[in-house]
Amino acid sequence: MQISTFIVNNEMFALPSLQVEEFFRPMPITRVYGVDRRIDGLGNIRGRTAVVINMRRCLDVAPRQQNESSEMILLETATGLVAEAKDLGLFAFDEPLVLCVDSVSHIHTLDGDDIHPPPANTLQPFVDGVVQTEKYYFTMISIRKLVDEIMQSPCPV
């Protein structure tokens, strides 16, 4: 399996690459009143409306400084998910979803032994495990659990 990695607040995270459609620079975002604070708003991606999730807020870290850059990760939709991803049990939503992160890192190829269960003291319910490569450890996140957590939480505007 391949993973796409990204950085938030100098911490390294990962997603299965089969769930990622593309990486891109920030786009204009329209704020939406009354949504969870972890949702930045809505963006237009080639005529499709996408929900933009702020990973800094999901991880309870300080906002970026005004002069700091960010990057975005567009996730695959259910119709774009390839058969291999479905066979692996990966999930995608019907509508486009974008993660706002500090920076996109690399794509790594893993063996099955590289993925470990999450630590017992993990606070975020969307952490799926820890990935070990030759040089680094990454926190593997579950998009489904992340969105479920946002949807089930009271709306902290």
Residues counted in the chain: 157
Q: What is the CATH number of the domain that holds 45?
A: 2.40.50.180
Q: What is the pLDDT of residue 155?
A: 58
More confident residue, 2 or 68: 2
Residue 140: partners with Cβ closer than 8 Å, 6 or more residues away: 3, 13, 14, 15, 115, 127, 128, 129, 130, 131
Q: How many CB atoms lie within 10 A of CB 84?
A: 10
How far apart, in whole angstroms, are the C-alpha atoms of residue 39 and residue 91?
Answer: 20
**DSSP run (H or E) holding 11:** strand 11-16
> Does residue 131 sit within a domain?
yes
Q: Provide the domain count of the chain.
A: 1
> Does residue 157 sit within a domain?
no
pLDDT tens, residue by residue, 26-37: 899 999 998 999
pLDDT tens, residue by residue, 77-121: 999 999 999 998 898 999 999 999 999 988 988 877 788 888 888
**Domain containing 94: what range?**
2-152
Does the pLDDT of residue 44 top 70, yes or no? Answer: yes
**DSSP run (H or E) holding 24:** strand 20-24
Note the pTM of the prediction, 2 decimals.
Answer: 0.90
Q: What is the pLDDT of residue 136?
A: 85
